[in-house]
Structures are given as structure tokens and as C-alpha cells.
Structure 1
């Protein structure tokens, strides 16, 4: 909550606020978020305008997440730019907008928590990656491809050919394929 009493209501008056607050709960998405108890840096400017208080500035915090490709935990940060109008009670803006369309000044205080929650939710990626070149997991055995030996792969016999392969005694070993067995029999 930010107090606007010192700001006053004269249009054009302004003040800056630099503050570090603690996240009251986890803020973000399922796979990446600002953890509860993390520090959130606020560098804001509050400006009185005819209809309310215009809040502009930046918000930054550390994030933790899980890579959507390799499922490894990673950390990062989020830096947001805010521009939000908080309408005064009984102002034309407050009277002509629905309850959920605009934020409001209540008892000369501004509640930034919903603004930050909305902004963080929009800024974070839906499918976070530990790095841009993350290779993910092997679809066959699940090993992280970043730590697998070079040339990691699996030769799997197409199940549509399994019956024919069994009839000719072909195993799933790549050195024993159908062509090699026919050549050996001749």
C-alpha cells in the first residue's frame, strides 16, 4: 500500500517512491514465478492528475522456475515497466468505469499488489526455458540431452515391421538388419 496523502490532489504534484517490499505470496505462473518472501524492488513516480493518481516506474524481482524442455530448475529475473491510473473516489473516471476495469484510490491509499500480479503474469513466459538452446529430454529414455554423450540415440524397430522381423529372426540390433541377414544366407 502506498499512501497518497503527502502527494495531495493538485494536478501536477508528484513524488518518487523507492522501496523494497517482500512478496506476500508466490506471484507468477505454474512453471515460473517470484517466490513468496522474495524481495521486489519498486522505483515509482506518483503523479496527481485530475482523475486520480498516475503511477509510473519499474518493478524488478528475482524469479525461479522449471524449464519446460528439460525440467531442470533455474533462476532469473523479471523487470517490468508500470503505467497505471488509480481513480479518485467520485471522479468521472471512477463513476464511468466498471469495478474491474480500473484500479482505485481507497482511503488515500493505493494497493499495488494486484497491479504487480497482473504485470508479472503477462511478462513471464508460458513455457520458460533454462537457456535458449536447451535441447530438452530424450523422448525414448528421458535423459537430459545436454548431459548425454554425443551421438545419443536409440534404434527402434517400427512396430509395423515387428512381425516380419520376427519371422526372419531380425533383432532390434542395428548391426543385424534384414538386408544383412539376407546377404549372409546366400
Structure 2
């Protein structure tokens, strides 16, 4: 059994489109390597800071990821290596273990698919793109009712707020 504690720089960006461990960021590895009958069992934790953007308002999001790993690396010519497909189990090659693919897979599964800057993030206005958190409750847009669009075009009526063809539920009732 061997205990390994190292801090390494992420060789590439590790994660998802919206949030990831950036290339060059420090990644803390606290791993335990144990010799078992069919290979080397690697267990331990991987910790790193993450950066990305909120999927609702596109503001920067930072955080950290803490992943627990458990992976068996099969010895060359072991029964495990001979009885499993190549993509089902990791293998020891030239007396070396490559934990990078395990870290990449584990971090990708741990990160949120839709990171948020905060749980109650309102996102962006679908009309003008302003952040709803700073726009205020009075933020709105007057939208021409599509049922009146042809008539409005015929008479050259715009979409000004004073226009009576504007979609207004109070006037329709």
C-alpha cells in the first residue's frame, strides 16, 4: 500500500461546457494505491477550484469540486485483464498508472449540468437580455399581439406603448 498526496496543475480544462477546472489550476490528489490480487486499487479524493458561468444569467460562477475515486487498474496478463473488454477496466501499462482519465470522468459526473450563480437566479429578460436581478419588478415590454400584426402593418401603426393594438389583457376583457 502506498499513500500519495500531490498538488498538480490540470493539464487541460476538465469538466463541462458551463463549468470546469481550468487548465493550469491546482488539483489536489490524496490517493491510496493498494496492491490486490488482480491489479492496483486506487482510492482517494481529488479537490480543485472550478470556474464557469451561470446558465440563467451568464454571470461568472466559482466553486470547488471534491470527488472520491475508486478504480481498479488491472495487472498485465491478469485474469481480470483477459476477461474484460478494453473499455471496461483500466490497465497498468509499463508499470505506470494513468489516473488522468479517471479524474476527468469523475469530475465530469460530479459537476452540475446547469450551474447557477444562486438558487433563485431569475436569468435574463427574453426580450432585451438585461439581467432580471438588476432590472427590477417594473421591467416589462409592450408586445404587439400577433393577431393584430397584419392590420397594424396596413395602417403603419408601431408598437409604442400608447398603441391600442398592444397586447394588454386588461383591455381584452
Q: Distance in 2 between matches of 1:166 and 1:31?
A: 42
Aligned to 1:136: 123
Equivalent residue for 2:45, pick from 32, 54, 58: 58
Q: Could you tell me how far 1:61 is from its partner in structure 2?
A: 0.5
Equivalent residue for 1:147, pick from 119, 127, 134: 134
Is the Cα–Cα contact under 8 Å of residues 61 and 115 in structure 2 kept in the other structure?
no
Q: Secondary structure at the match of 1:143?
A: coil
Q: Secondary structure at the match of 2:131?
A: coil
Q: Secondary structure at the match of 1:146?
A: helix
Aligned to 2:170: none
Is the Cα–Cα contact under 8 Å of residues 5 and 30 in structure 2 kept in the other structure?
yes
Q: Distance in 1 between matches of 2:77 and 2:122?
A: 56
Q: Distance in 1 between matches of 2:117 and 2:162?
A: 37
Structure 1 residues 166 and 118, CA gap change in structure 2 (3 angstroms): closer
Structure 1 unaligned blocks of 5 or more: 1-13, 179-186
> How large is the Cα RMSD of the aligned pairs?
2.0
Structure 2 unaligned blocks of 5 or more: 166-173
- What TM-score do the two structures reach when normalised by structure 1? 0.80
Equivalent residue for 1:123, pick from 102, 107, 110: 110
Q: Secondary structure at the match of 2:148?
A: helix
Aligned to 1:85: 72
Deviations 1:63-82 (A, max 9, x none): 11121111122211111110
Aligned residue pairs: how many? 165
Deviations 1:121-164 (A, max 9, x none): 11122222222111110001100111112321112121212345
